[in-house]
Amino acid sequence: MLLHRSVVRSKLDGSTRARLRLVDSLWLYVQSAEGNVGVMTASALRAQMPWRRSCQRMSYQCFHTTHRTDSKEHVKVLVLGGGSGGITMGARMKRKVGAENVAIVEPSEMHYYQPIWTLVGAGAKSVESSGRPTSSVIPSGVKWVKSRVMEVNPDTNSVRTDCGKEISYEYLIVALGLQLHYEKIKGLPEGFEHPKIGSNYSVKTVQKTWKALQDFKEGNAIFTFPNTPVKCAGAPQKIMYLSDAFLRKTGKRSNANIIYNTSLPVLFGIKKYADSLWEIVKSRDLNINLRQNLIEVRADKQEAVFENLDKPGETKVFEYEMLHVTPPMGPPDVLKGSPLANEAGWLNLNKETLQHNVYPNVFGIGDCTSLPTAKTAAAVAAQSSVLDRTITRIMKKNKPDKKYDGYTSCPLVTSYNTVILAEFDYNGQPLETFPLDQSKERRTMYYMKADVMPHLYWHGLLKGLWGGPGPYRTIMHLGMK
Ligand code: FAD
Ligand code: UQ1
């Protein structure tokens, strides 16, 4: 159960037996002696509990069980991470080897459909609609190991969890997602305790975006894109288009200077869609500054500091009335420096088969991988059907025969009723599902993004029944060149 911060505070008063667990550098899950669980910021917690000043440096503690369990278990197929990729592969592997032979390691009580956070930040959907209990998405009969993986030892085919459990496996599927690094921006994450700042990238801060937008009076509305790989590279600018539309709708647009400060040298990586986006940007009077990287937020003064990536040492301070932060991102800590990672820390996979380049019984899917394509749930869908096939072949001692082409998709929300549906492959070539020009803003695509995709996610992808639009693309393009 998640409790409001203030409730957590009151529950904690006098409760020295509260158990704490660092979720990221900002948020802590807190479990009081009565067993209630909540989240609060690290700084708020330090203020509450001076005897725990070092909590930010605390090691992870086993959260879900009262005592550490130094035990051993074995499973045929072990899945690390119960996000989009992990649940999807759990469902597919259950069909392959039987539920009793599959386990998923995932610490979170809630599973979120992250793509809808773009619309939550703009007030078009509720945050509640984005989450379901993890227990409800774990395929029935599959074991849910409610812990965090702390160490992966592919040489001994085993992993260790924060509860001290050692789990050995025959086949390992790594689906750990990526890690958000708000703390790499000076002044964050504490800055989120102030108003006028939000971030659609975390369930903790997405409603703050909507609040900042509603409270907007006059001044700069600034949207950022960091100097790292990100998931859904379109999301940092989708919220800008939605904010622009909201301010127009509420008659405040003439008071607003809308600015998109991006670390990238381009607005969007695929020219066909970038051309359309530049047209929109020009027609809606949006200011795009390339190669500008957010390095500091002075939330008390409503100031954001950017470095010019082309002129080292040159920084610029912007005042803001609203700031949307897309945080730096990177591979999960547990992978970085492990034998499974490449030099950059991402899971070292064969980009066509999704089999590990060094350990043949290890596979991966999604944001944690080295696959050189845009990190999206749409990519996870396409990867899942290839990975299913690869693992099946490997289990039968055959060579993988199906190849992932890098398919990924980004529904670029450009207003409260239009979307440009970008779809492309490893070569950056458009790979469009529908037999029409998807670089045009379309209402049908908005409907698909807002109302169809969530169903496809919960009832198709997570059940292992949706492997991406590949087969439909072929049918829809029959008879076309
Ligand atoms: P996740 O779904 O993030 O799952 C990773 C899981 O691993 C998490 O549940 C986490 O708790 C768990 N985990 C992490 N560390 C450990 C550990 N040590 N031990 C055990 N478990 C661990 N995609 C689209 O296709 N279309 C969109 O329009 C779109 N829009 C987006 C908008 C926003 C604002 C965001 C944030 C994302 C968007 N995405 C979109 C991206 C999409 O949500 C991700 O690409 C997708 O969820 C990746 O799946 P994954 O399984 O790799 O990672
Ligand atoms: C998709 O498959 C998918 O995963 C379920 C998404 O994530 C939410 C998407 O945003 C998109 C666009 C796809 C691709 C599906 C079609 C029908 C083009």
In the predicted structure, residue 40 carries a pLDDT above the cut 80:
no
**Rounded Cα–Cα distance for residues 58 and 398 (Å):** 46
Q: Is any ligand 1 atom within 6 A of the Cβ of residue 366?
A: yes
Ligand nearest to the CA of 466: 2
In the predicted structure, residue 6 carries a pLDDT above the cut 70:
no
Instruction: Tell me what pLDDT residue 479 has.
Output: 66
Question: How many angstroms does the Cα of residue 367 sit away from the middle of ligand 1?
Answer: 7
In the predicted structure, residue 228 carries a pLDDT above the cut 80:
yes
Question: How many angstroms does the Cα of residue 244 sit away from the middle of ligand 2?
Answer: 25
For ligand 2, atom 3: residue with the closest CA: 378
In the predicted structure, residue 63 carries a pLDDT above the cut 90:
no
**Rounded Cα–Cα distance for residues 281 and 260 (Å):** 10
Question: Catalytic residue positions?
Answer: 232, 410
Instruction: Tell me what pLDDT residue 474 has.
Output: 85
In the predicted structure, residue 401 carries a pLDDT above the cut 70:
yes
pLDDT tens per residue across span 419-474:
999 999 999 999 999 999 999 999 999 999 999 999 999 999 999 999 999 999 98
The whole-chain average pLDDT of the chain stands at 89
Which residues are within 8 A (CB) of 331 and not within 5 positions of it... i.e. 6 or more apart?
A: 178, 179, 341, 344, 345, 346, 347, 368
Instruction: Tell me what pLDDT residue 478 has.
Output: 79
| Inter-residue contact 329 to 229 (CB < 8 Å) | yes
- C-alpha distances (whole Å) from 300 to each of 83, 131, 323 are 35, 31, 13
Instruction: Tell me what pLDDT residue 58 has.
Output: 32
Return the structure tokens found at 374: 């845009």
pLDDT tens per residue across span 203-223:
999 999 999 999 999 999 999
Instruction: Tell me what pLDDT residue 68 has.
Output: 56
H/E element, 260 = strand 256-262
Return the closest-CA partner of residue 366 out of 169, 182, 207, 179.
Answer: 179
In the predicted structure, residue 70 carries a pLDDT above the cut 90:
no
Return the HEC string of 132-184: EEHHHHCCCCCEEECCCEEEEECCCCEEEECCCCEEEEEEEEECCCCEECHHH
pLDDT tens per residue across span 251-271:
999 999 999 999 999 999 999
Least confident of 47-51, 120-124, 278-282, 330-334: 47-51
In the predicted structure, residue 171 carries a pLDDT above the cut 60:
yes
**CA geometry: angle 381, 369, 140, nearest 5 deg:** 50
Out of 111, 137, 376, mutate this one to test ligand 2's pocket (max ligand atoms within 8 Å of CB): namely: 376
pLDDT tens per residue across span 128-149:
999 999 999 999 999 999 999 9
Mean pLDDT (whole number) for 362-388: 98
Higher pLDDT, 397 or 66: 397
Instruction: Tell me what pLDDT residue 394 has.
Output: 98
Please state the pTM of the whole predicted model.
Answer: 0.89
Higher pLDDT, 375 or 1: 375
Instruction: Tell me what pLDDT residue 364 has.
Output: 99
Share of the chain above pLDDT 90, in %: 84
Instruction: Tell me what pLDDT residue 148 has.
Output: 98
In the predicted structure, residue 61 carries a pLDDT above the cut 60:
no
Instruction: Tell me what pLDDT residue 15 has.
Output: 35
Share of the chain above pLDDT 70, in %: 85
**Rounded Cα–Cα distance for residues 466 and 463 (Å):** 8
**CA geometry: angle 201, 144, 101, nearest 5 deg:** 125
pLDDT tens per residue across span 239-253:
999 999 999 999 999
Q: Going from the N-terminus, what domains does the chain have, and what CATH number goes with each?
A: 2-56+426-476 (no CATH), 72-176+334-395 (3.50.50.60), 180-330 (3.50.50.60)
Question: How many angstroms does the Cα of residue 178 sit away from the middle of ligand 1?
Answer: 7
For ligand 2, atom 13: residue with the closest CA: 378
Q: Is the CA virtual torsion 223, 225, 226, 232 positive or negative? A: positive
In the predicted structure, residue 10 carries a pLDDT above the cut 70:
no
Residues facing residue 21 across a β-bridge: 29
